[in-house]
Structure 1
Amino acid sequence: MWNLPHGPLHADMYAYTMALAHFRKGDHDTPTTYHAFVRKNPFGGSYTLVAGIHDFLRWLRDFRFTDYRTDYLASLKTMKGNRLFDDAFLKMVAETPLSLTIDALPEGELTFPNVPFARVSGPQWQCLIVEATLLNLINAQSLVATEASRCVHAAEGTPVIDGSLRRSMDVGGYASARAAYIGGFSGTSNVAVARALGLPARGTFAHAYVTFHKEEETAFRNYAETMDDVVMLLDTYDTLTAARLATRICKEIGKPLLGVRLDSGDLGWLSLEVRRILDEAGFRDTYVMASNDLNPRTIASLRAQQKAGEAAIDRWMVGTDIGAPHEGGALGGVYKLAEVAGRPVIKVAERGVSAADTKTTIPGPYGVVRMLRDKDGRERIAGDTLLSLDTLGRVTGWGGTDKLTGPDNGRFQLTSDLVSVNLADPERPTKFRTGQLCYVPHRRMMTRGDIVYEMPSLDEIQAFARTGLDRLDPAHRRLDQPHIYVAGLDEGLYEMRRRMIRDIHLSHQ
């Protein structure tokens, strides 16, 4: 796994200063609940694919204030030169066991704006300390997993391989390679991650192998003679000449040419010409791989060319766009307080350019029920509704996340009608009627500091993600102007939020 050796020191400084202020006032152990969620989906898309929660749980296993960690905190000074953290505070954090309870979306599940990918409950000071690592791990991997799923969707069943290590923004490329596999990639060029996670390791050779030799023919011949799997990079000097050379050498030494890779130029036209050369030489089973700054849109464009008979690409290697997705920037997952000692709380932001364009939160601990419907003989997800945990239990017969099992926590039928209000368009609510098929996507991950979730294998997570993505209506998966998937608020939760906003505004006039 990603190595985070410093345990609870992986935190923002404000978490510790707030924890200290709470401790000195004696309310640091107050029970609180936080929600982690995205305000908007990345890449202008309609969904976010969740990844990273398992690494967060593994990090929590090392949530211990060892001597060197508390010694470092003890060494910190205020601007006046005084010790920032006193012995009483350090003794408290060192001797208090972790007691958080966490419900979260399993890796490979889909999330949408305001739908919590994690709900964290426990003592206020501990909820504060875990925020940064939770967001760091899940934001990074969910962003990459989402982009990978878009690449796979654009590739329409042809394999996509991760080649992001050299461009990855995380040290070692662990998060990029792992999340790309969850998103549907078929292998990685990252040898260390392939070993650590049991992923297929994939790679050919680079231009340096050709330029090392005095002539391209010598390079190709040496490689073909020494390797079982012969895959040639063709574009070091002249792509079509190299294609003819590769086929001739493989014929002469009696070895199959497994594949060729194109890394520059007009990939569509070159692939078609290379395919013709391969076929004429009898290498009809040789695959053609494309690389060179690919992303979902370039892959989709090349696939469109292929359907028109203007390209012939069988595989894809995506590097920069997975290591540092430029269109998405960063996933803006946030972590907001929802309840203090049973009292719902809300953050009210300044008004944005529209009624829905604010950072105002949703008060109280809430969950989500995900609706299912049959469309054209296929099961689709048909909208989410956020609702208080009490209401969730009432309308589904749901007994709590710690009672649920199975890939979708089982199916339910609504036991009463449910009205869902879209915050962006509250005047047109959606009514889900009694008997509507649905499920609850959250799982219990940790109970009072003990990890209770049995983490599936990476292959199982990838399969689970594929199933969830297949449930999305194709309109939600469009690369350009996708149809928006709505996560509305149950009318009771909507009214409570509206009243709290109104009361706060009135009290501050």
Structure 2
Amino acid sequence: MERRYDIVTPEEIDEGRATDAYFGRTETILEAEGIDPEVVADVGEEVETPHVFAGLKDVAHLLEGTDVDLYALPEGSVFERAPVMRIEGSYAGFGRYETAILGFICRASAVATATARIKAVAGDVPIVSFGTRREHPATAAMIERSAHIGGADGVSHIAGAEAVGLEAAGTMPHALVISMRDQESAWKAYDEHIDDEVPRIMLCDTYEDEKKEAVEAAELLGDALDSVRLDTTGSRRGDMREIVEEVRWELDLRGYDDVGIFVSGGMGLEEVAELRDVVDGFGVGGSIASVPPVDFSLDIVEVDGEPAGKRGERSGRKEVYRDEEGEHVVPADETDETDYVRVLEDGESVHGFGMEDARGRVLSSLDLIEGHVADA
């Protein structure tokens, strides 16, 4: 039967079928040979700048019920050279899941990292994740959860937000203005029909000059207007800072100094840095949701108690910790220090996954992240 959508099901992931063919073949061969070693595997990637770890919750749920112990940095931790996870147990207990394990954390960590970098640059100016429209709908919950962990102050996807316990935020699209044939009718209808607790942020660049539409919105809605949104397309952008400053001038001149300015459309690190002192909020799309994944790999580093690592990998069980001198990765028998938490013990969950705790770790590390943004 043809699938309605091209989506791998949760059941297929749990069964270990969301994997690469050679893992299935490896399992067949080892079973036929009667080989099932006890292994230690590192999951990590040496990156050049501080990154944020996310996606652990899904990995833990995937490995529940298997014959493994899972140790990991808590979600929201900042890493550079350190393995983010360590898996110990029967290789047959988790080998088939390698593809899904990496898939759960590669994109989630990339989205969280991209968001944290933008948040570090934006400072106190709120940022909202607007990028799910650029990605497959099946990934929306992962994107919004990872963006929230990374420091986003709001997310836009309704189902994605609800799936992870958040409430979607947003303004109005050009489609509403165009459907109603003029901006004033759209602003008025929005104010009339949308719940009062939703901020009145009116799109002000559909047909006319941004400063003209902004003033018209302020005059139409008065005290009800919270902000105007400028989403000038790339072909008409010009100098966005100059546009924002003109809008601010015209609003202030008429006594609308309490009306904020929210900008979106092609916002990235450079644009946020350029505008953060003159705007009151950013909508950030592809620069959060569509970044390249972190290139994590899973590597066996110990077999049946003996160090064993492929060329280019450091063998043996390791511990990871960060102090005032930075990040440390050392042989496990040389230290009692560790930032790893035990997530699974014999396949049973022994660790919680507080999304707000993870977000707090990121927000407390923004100084470290901002110091390396220029090198990203």
Contact persistence 1:260–1:286 (CA under 8 A):
yes
2:202 is matched with which residue? 232
Would you say 1:56 and 2:59 are equivalent positions? Answer: yes
Contact persistence 1:169–1:323 (CA under 8 A):
no
In the TM superposition, 1:252-263 aligns within 5 A as: 255-263=223-231
2:3 is matched with which residue? none
2:318 is matched with which residue? 366
How far residue 23 of structure 1 moved from its aligned partner, in angstroms, is 0.8
How far residue 56 of structure 1 moved from its aligned partner, in angstroms, is 1.4
2:213 is matched with which residue? 242
Partner AA of 1:110 in structure 2:
V
How far residue 478 of structure 1 moved from its aligned partner, in angstroms, is 3.2
- Measure, in 2, the Cα distance between the counterparts of 1:109 and 1:207: 38
Query: For 1:130, what is the secondary structure of its paired residue?
Result: helix
How far residue 343 of structure 1 moved from its aligned partner, in angstroms, is 1.0
- Structure 2: give runs of 5+ residues left out of the alignment: 1-7
1:406 is matched with which residue? none
Partner AA of 2:54 in structure 1:
A
Higher relative contact order (CA 8 A, sep 6+): 2
Partner AA of 2:11 in structure 1:
P
How far residue 135 of structure 1 moved from its aligned partner, in angstroms, is 0.7
2:280 is matched with which residue? 314
1:277 is matched with which residue? 250
Give % identity. 26
Shift of the 199–478 alpha-carbon distance from structure 1 to 2, 3 Å rule, reads same
- Measure, in 2, the Cα distance between the counterparts of 1:152 and 1:39: 23
- Measure, in 2, the Cα distance between the counterparts of 1:280 and 1:187: 30
How far residue 283 of structure 1 moved from its aligned partner, in angstroms, is 2.3
Contact persistence 1:297–1:479 (CA under 8 A):
no
Contact persistence 1:173–1:323 (CA under 8 A):
no
1:20 is matched with which residue? 28
How far residue 60 of structure 1 moved from its aligned partner, in angstroms, is 2.8
How far residue 284 of structure 1 moved from its aligned partner, in angstroms, is 1.9
- 1:328-367 CA-to-partner distances (Å, cap 9, x unmatched) read x22111111101101111212xxxxxxxxxxx00011111
Query: For 1:143, what is the secondary structure of its paired residue?
Result: helix
How far residue 473 of structure 1 moved from its aligned partner, in angstroms, is 7.9
In the TM superposition, 1:370-449 aligns within 5 A as: 370-372=322-324, 382-392=325-335, 398=336, 439-449=337-347
Contact persistence 1:102–1:121 (CA under 8 A):
yes
1:85 is matched with which residue? none
- 1:422-475 CA-to-partner distances (Å, cap 9, x unmatched) read xxxxxxxxxxxxxxxxx521100011111111222x1221112212344x386x
TM-score, normalised to structure 2's length? Answer: 0.90
- Measure, in 1, the Cα distance between the counterparts of 2:9 and 2:167: 21
In the TM superposition, 1:307-346 aligns within 5 A as: 312-325=278-291, 329-346=292-309
Q: Which has the larger radius of gyration?
A: 1
How far residue 318 of structure 1 moved from its aligned partner, in angstroms, is 0.5
- 1:309-331 CA-to-partner distances (Å, cap 9, x unmatched) read xxx21100101112212xxx221
Query: For 2:54, what is the secondary structure of its paired residue?
Result: coil
Partner AA of 2:10 in structure 1:
L
Shift of the 208–387 alpha-carbon distance from structure 1 to 2, 3 Å rule, reads same
Partner AA of 2:326 in structure 1:
G
How far residue 172 of structure 1 moved from its aligned partner, in angstroms, is 4.4
Contact persistence 1:152–1:185 (CA under 8 A):
yes
- 1:85-140 CA-to-partner distances (Å, cap 9, x unmatched) read xxxxxxxxxxxx62111100110011112x11110111112231221111101111
- Measure, in 2, the Cα distance between the counterparts of 1:332 and 1:272: 41
- 1:233-262 CA-to-partner distances (Å, cap 9, x unmatched) read 0111121221121012113xxx42111111
Contact persistence 1:164–1:177 (CA under 8 A):
no
- Measure, in 2, the Cα distance between the counterparts of 1:466 and 1:454: 19
Partner AA of 2:283 in structure 1:
M
1:412 is matched with which residue? none
- Measure, in 1, the Cα distance between the counterparts of 2:319 and 2:290: 32
Contact persistence 1:121–1:127 (CA under 8 A):
no
- Measure, in 2, the Cα distance between the counterparts of 1:370 and 1:235: 47
Would you say 1:98 and 2:71 are equivalent positions? Answer: no
Partner AA of 2:77 in structure 1:
E
Contact persistence 1:191–1:201 (CA under 8 A):
yes
Query: For 1:299, what is the secondary structure of its paired residue?
Result: helix
Contact persistence 2:117–2:369 (CA under 8 A):
no
Query: For 1:289, what is the secondary structure of its paired residue?
Result: strand
TM-score, normalised to structure 1's length? Answer: 0.67
2:357 is matched with which residue? 460
Query: For 1:316, what is the secondary structure of its paired residue?
Result: strand
In the TM superposition, 1:477-488 aligns within 5 A as: 477-481=371-375
2:144 is matched with which residue? 177
Query: For 1:203, what is the secondary structure of its paired residue?
Result: coil
2:272 is matched with which residue? 299
- 1:134-175 CA-to-partner distances (Å, cap 9, x unmatched) read 110111100010000000011121100011121125624122
Query: For 2:40, what is the secondary structure of its paired residue?
Result: strand
Contact persistence 1:34–1:336 (CA under 8 A):
yes
How far residue 5 of structure 1 moved from its aligned partner, in angstroms, is 2.9
Q: Could you say what the CA RMSD is over the residues aligned between the two structures, in angstroms? A: 1.9
2:4 is matched with which residue? none
1:9 is matched with which residue? 17
Contact persistence 1:34–1:127 (CA under 8 A):
no
Q: 1:204 aligns with which of 171, 180, 196?
A: 171
Partner AA of 2:346 in structure 1:
R
Partner AA of 1:98 in structure 2:
T
Query: For 2:39, what is the secondary structure of its paired residue?
Result: strand
Aligned residues: 358
Contact persistence 2:321–2:328 (CA under 8 A):
yes
Shift of the 473–18 alpha-carbon distance from structure 1 to 2, 3 Å rule, reads closer
Query: For 1:283, what is the secondary structure of its paired residue?
Result: coil
- Measure, in 1, the Cα distance between the counterparts of 2:139 and 2:302: 38
